[in-house]
Amino acid sequence: MVIKKLVFDEARVPFGALKDALDDNFSSNPGLHALVQKKVPRFGSGSEDALNMANALTKLIHDLYSSRRNFRGGRYTSGFWSMSQHVAYGSLSGALPSGRLSSKAFTPGLTPHPGASKSFLDNIRDVARLDPVNMDNNMAFNVKLTPSPRDASEDIVNVMHSYVRTYFDQGGMQMQFNVVKSETLKDAMANPENYRNLLVRISGYNAYFVTLNTDMQIELIERTEYGI
């Protein structure tokens, strides 16, 4: 979206300047870094252009893999669930035009970037509107919902039910929750002996938080946190 909008559609940023910024991790061009983060719509923001781009990319990946035969003679399918590889591959990857810095974790599965929108409903609408034909081996949509201690249990359940029902009514395929605050996870990093039984959802599986490596723990902490 950054390349399409800023380099081609609006001609605000020369491609060479963008490449130079990526090569030095935006360190010499903080203004460009701010521009790509603040002025370009992301998937999960409710932007029709960003959603169309996401559908075009998932279709490209699906079509490439489905055109190949596997060793049993069948066709490859495309699954957008990253397990924990979004952290591993992120640590090996340089800066991206989106403004993501070098070595930072990618988002899990098809979860929108934390900065895409302050509204959880924008996330829900965009993920639900991805074409399921291109995701024939399913996907992962990871959500962190954090009720207040003042919220009644019945209210929490009703709100979560409404979110899930809305998502699936719009065609969503899968959603998985963490219901824990970032502050709690930070405390668990500092005092693991107090959180031996704290389970978290990664991207397709559960794990005890204190057994995860530091990069995985940080990725969980940095996920967008939506209130109930």
Judge residue 26's burial from the number of C-beta atoms within 10 Å of its C-beta, 0-12 exposed, 13-18 middle, 19 or more buried.
buried
| pLDDT value at residue 149 | 83
Q: Which amino acid is at 77?
A: T
Domain ranges, ordered by start, for the chain: 41-227
State the average pLDDT over residues 113-132: 94
Confidence band of 228 (pLDDT split at 50, 70, 90): confident
pLDDT value at position 21?
97
Query: For the CA atoms of 43, 44, 46, 48, what is the dihedral angle to 10 degrees?
Result: 20
Q: Positive or negative, the Cα torsion across 21, 27, 31, 33?
A: positive
Name residues whose C-beta falls within 8 Å of residue 86's C-beta, 6 or more positions apart in sequence.
105, 106, 107, 108, 109, 203, 219
**Percent of the chain scored above 90 by pLDDT?**
89
Report how far Cα 124 is from the mean position of its chain's Cα atoms. Answer: 12
CB 102 within 8 A of CB 108: no
Stretch 139-150: mean pLDDT: 89
* Band (224; pLDDT cuts 50, 70, 90): confident
pLDDT of res. 161: 93
The identity of residue 197, as a single letter, is N
pLDDT, tens digit, 9 for 90 and up, residues 21-61? 999 999 999 999 999 999 999 999 999 999 999 999 999 99
Predicted local distance difference test score (pLDDT) of residue 217? 96
Average pLDDT of the segment spanning 16-24: 97
pTM: 0.91
